[in-house]
Structure 1
Amino acid sequence: MTQRTIRFGVIGCGLMGKEFASAAARWCHLTDVNFIPVITAVCDANPDAIGWFKQAVPSVEKTFTDYRDLLADPDIDAVYCAVPHNLHAQLYVDIIRSGKHLLGEKPFGIDREANADIQKAIAENPEVLVRCSSEFPFFPGALQIAKWVEEGRFGKIIEVEAGFWHSSDLDPQKPINWKRRIATNGEYGCMGDLGMHVLHLPMRFGWKPANVRSLLSQIIEERPDGKGGTAPCETWDNAILACEVQTKDQAFPMLLSTKRIAPGHANTWFIRIQGTAFSAEFTTKNPKQLAWLPYEAGGKQAWHVMDVPYKSAYGTITGGIFEFGFSDSILQMWAAFCDEIANGTGRMLQPFHCATPEEAEFSHRLFTAALESNRTGGTIPL
């Protein structure tokens, strides 16, 4: 099979930039795909961050400390950008205007105004493919739930719950970083940092909140500043958003939660859907396990639980008996982005695409309303 080579530049050589490089190095893990990413250039304002790429990624030919120099390179087709939220508007807009396809990190702007600037650039450059990073819905269990929703299995929806929780911030001695500062992370706090993961599937199902009542928590108020003192934590640690969803034929409550301090959880993503005819739930805490409950009037109510086969959106060399993990979900997400570049949105090898700018834009509407709800104590319409 002839494969189209997509030449990538990486802007932001931190943790997630390295994860993309690792996914590109594992491309042989995929079967029957007609595209392959090759990272040819990287950029970071900190020259020390570039060192790992020069050592670990042989395809890297060029390194930059100014992202404008990377965008001026005609030998780059697409960019992955992973930088703090306050830099999204300027960098994403410049990337889009350069004509290079973009996979950017959430939340696509530090606030709603910044997101509007990005949306304007997208509208002015329709030939550029722009998508938002969100890998967890590519787990096989999540894809199976998406298929059940598409098939209309659930009957009348009773309620939905989705969340993304981790616990590393439970340690009060963890040094402060950019995610705890409004200037770099934004007022959304944990919502902007984690929320697109939570909203990805509900948005894809057409379940947009009509209103929101929020409960936002700031649990640890200061942290070590790395200089022998302490610094105030300015952003929200945890958020619980109680929403009402109104579709063309039904209404139901939906509870969304993003938590940096959830004792015992290390990056746990989950979704639970309860319906009158069918219920299902999946969590990455048990990544090989899927639970569902079919129901007929007068029948028994019994949960079924089984190990999910390793059956992903794109075929792999891995046997079905093995366990799917985080690095696999990133590889699948990247395959979806490259598929859409190579084959076009309507001709992808499989139909589940990455999170869209429109889905990211709605997340800003929701998070802005959640901030207002927290200030006023009321339920805010969207």
Structure 2
Amino acid sequence: MRKIRFGVLGAAKIARTKVIPGMQAGDLTEVTAISSRTEDSARAVADELGIPKAYGGYETLLADPDVDAVYIPLPNHLHVDWSIRALEAGKHVLCEKPLGLDSKDIARLMEAAAQHPELQVMEAFMYRFHPQWEEAKRLVDAGEIGPVASIQSYFSYFNADPGNIRNRAEMGGGGMMDIGCYNISLSRFLFGGEPDRVCGFVDRAPDFGTDRLFSGMMDFSGRVSTFTCSTQLAGHQRVDILGAKGRIELPIPFNAPPDEPTRLILQREEHKGTDRHLTTIEFPACDQYTVQGDRFAKAILDGGPTPTPLDDALANMRVLEVLLESADAARWITCRS
């Protein structure tokens, strides 16, 4: 079966340690080229990971006729410009989240993508492709825990390095752009819609100007999702989904290990008594980056719909923007359609 040949724009850590190894293990993907700001740095990564071609400069990779698609792990402020350049070069685009710096940025990419309807563009929210999330969504949609009324999620790590791009506001750094976008995405994914109104609280790092802690509430027509994300707290991640008849817990919702089993905890309430039935569903080791790559490649090969379309990326960014607006205004704000 034909494989989609990927080129990688940049040698970011997530590319080197997660996405490239994942796609190298894919049934429908292979990584044939990588580019960096210098050919020497690109060659060092290529030699380390067994990638055939190394280019100094992103333009030279885009000119390679043997590259079908590009994966873009560049800093956030470069995502849209290089995605557009890739489309203009005739390449499909898998770009790291967040897809742009704001909704206007993403709309600009959508306009460019509309000029190339034969090409696929996707934001790399890899978590949705993991079997634990597919099962969580199935359980929710099937009513296994009753009508879901509340989602609580946490995602945090500690990083106070002033040189790190996550702490540089001009590059699109900060907790919401880096990890809070997951909390928003999963809420929209599980509720299957957009919030009516939101309320946020922000604590900004005085030395970086980025949001180092953000807590938010999203009201989905009387159903609520609350979350906290932080770049300067102890590392933690967890998602709880609560319904009238039970609960779903995802202990490692975002960074599921590729070489270890993953668990989903399903709790069902027995309202006739006080019994609580707990079931642990275990999933075999799975690399969500491999699955993401294969799903994207299949859409390219089949000419089918993009697994997570650009409309979803735009909607997610709009919610993120309104949450930040709410935090600055210190009040609930109605979401615009």
**Both proteins in one fold, TM over 0.5:** yes
Question: Does the Cα contact within 8 Å between 2:69 and 2:93 map onto a contact in 1?
Answer: yes
Q: Which runs of 5+ in 1 are unaligned?
A: 28-32, 222-231, 311-323, 347-352
Quick check: 1:192 aligned with 2:183?
A: no
Change in Cα spacing, 1:10 to 1:282, as seen in structure 2 (3 Å) is same
Provide the secondary structure at the position in 2 that maps to 1:262.
strand
Give me the whole-angstrom Cα distance separating, in 1, the residues matched to 2:51 and 2:211: 40
Q: What TM-score does the superposition give when structure 1 sets the normalisation length?
A: 0.78
Give me the whole-angstrom Cα distance separating, in 1, the residues matched to 2:180 and 2:88: 27
Q: 1:38-84 CA deviation, whole Å, 9 max, x = no partner?
A: 222211114443133331344423x3233222222222110001111
* 1:122 CA drift (Å): 2.0
| Matching residue of 2:224 | 253
Corresponding letter in the other structure for 1:200: S
Matches within 5 A, 1:357-368: 357-368=310-321
Corresponding letter in the other structure for 1:73: D
Give me the whole-angstrom Cα distance separating, in 2, the residues matched to 1:20 and 1:217: 31
Q: 1:250-269 CA deviation, whole Å, 9 max, x = no partner?
A: x311113322223243xx3x
Match for residue 246 of structure 2 among 271, 278, 290 = 278
Question: Does the Cα contact within 8 Å between 1:289 and 1:305 map onto a contact in 2?
Answer: no
| Matching residue of 2:52 | 60
| Matching residue of 1:129 | 120
Question: Does the Cα contact within 8 Å between 2:92 and 2:119 map onto a contact in 1?
Answer: yes
Give me the whole-angstrom Cα distance separating, in 2, the residues matched to 1:208 and 1:49: 43
Q: Over the residues paired in the alignment, what is the CA RMSD in angstroms?
A: 2.3
Corresponding letter in the other structure for 2:187: P
Quick check: 1:144 aligned with 2:135?
A: yes
Question: Does the Cα contact within 8 Å between 1:217 and 1:237 map onto a contact in 2?
Answer: yes
Q: What TM-score does the superposition give when structure 2 sets the normalisation length?
A: 0.88
Match for residue 212 of structure 1 among 178, 189, 198 = 198
Matches within 5 A, 1:208-247: 208-218=194-204, 220-221=205-206, 232-246=207-221
Give me the whole-angstrom Cα distance separating, in 2, the residues matched to 1:309 and 1:115: 35
Give me the whole-angstrom Cα distance separating, in 1, the residues matched to 2:107 and 2:165: 23
Question: Does the Cα contact within 8 Å between 1:132 and 1:354 map onto a contact in 2?
Answer: no
Quick check: 1:332 aligned with 2:291?
A: yes
Give me the whole-angstrom Cα distance separating, in 1, the residues matched to 2:193 and 2:273: 29
Give me the whole-angstrom Cα distance separating, in 2, the residues matched to 1:13 and 1:202: 31
* 1:203 CA drift (Å): 2.6
Give me the whole-angstrom Cα distance separating, in 2, the residues matched to 1:50 and 1:152: 49
- Higher deviation after alignment, 255-264 or 293-302: 293-302
Question: Does the Cα contact within 8 Å between 1:135 and 1:197 map onto a contact in 2?
Answer: no
| Matching residue of 1:178 | 165
Question: Does the Cα contact within 8 Å between 2:322 and 2:333 map onto a contact in 1?
Answer: yes
| Matching residue of 1:320 | none
Change in Cα spacing, 1:288 to 1:90, as seen in structure 2 (3 Å) is closer
Give me the whole-angstrom Cα distance separating, in 2, the residues matched to 1:127 and 1:273: 38
Corresponding letter in the other structure for 2:168: R
* 1:23 CA drift (Å): 1.6
Change in Cα spacing, 1:153 to 1:123, as seen in structure 2 (3 Å) is farther
| Matching residue of 2:37 | 45
Q: Which has the higher strand share?
A: 2
Q: Percent identity?
A: 24
Number of residue pairs the alignment of both structures matches: 327
Corresponding letter in the other structure for 2:164: N
Question: Does the Cα contact within 8 Å between 2:265 and 2:281 map onto a contact in 1?
Answer: no
| Matching residue of 1:300 | 274
Provide the secondary structure at the position in 2 that maps to 1:43.
strand
Corresponding letter in the other structure for 1:45: R
| Matching residue of 2:63 | 72
- Higher deviation after alignment, 177-186 or 76-85: 177-186
Give me the whole-angstrom Cα distance separating, in 2, the residues matched to 1:288 and 1:370: 31
Change in Cα spacing, 1:338 to 1:204, as seen in structure 2 (3 Å) is same
- Higher deviation after alignment, 8-17 or 290-299: 290-299
Question: Does the Cα contact within 8 Å between 1:291 and 1:303 map onto a contact in 2?
Answer: no
Corresponding letter in the other structure for 1:377: A
Give me the whole-angstrom Cα distance separating, in 1, the residues matched to 2:57 and 2:226: 42
Corresponding letter in the other structure for 1:238: L
Q: Which runs of 5+ in 2 are unaligned?
A: none
Match for residue 11 of structure 1 among 9, 28, 34 = 9
Give me the whole-angstrom Cα distance separating, in 2, the residues matched to 1:159 and 1:6: 40
Question: Does the Cα contact within 8 Å between 1:11 and 1:79 map onto a contact in 2?
Answer: yes
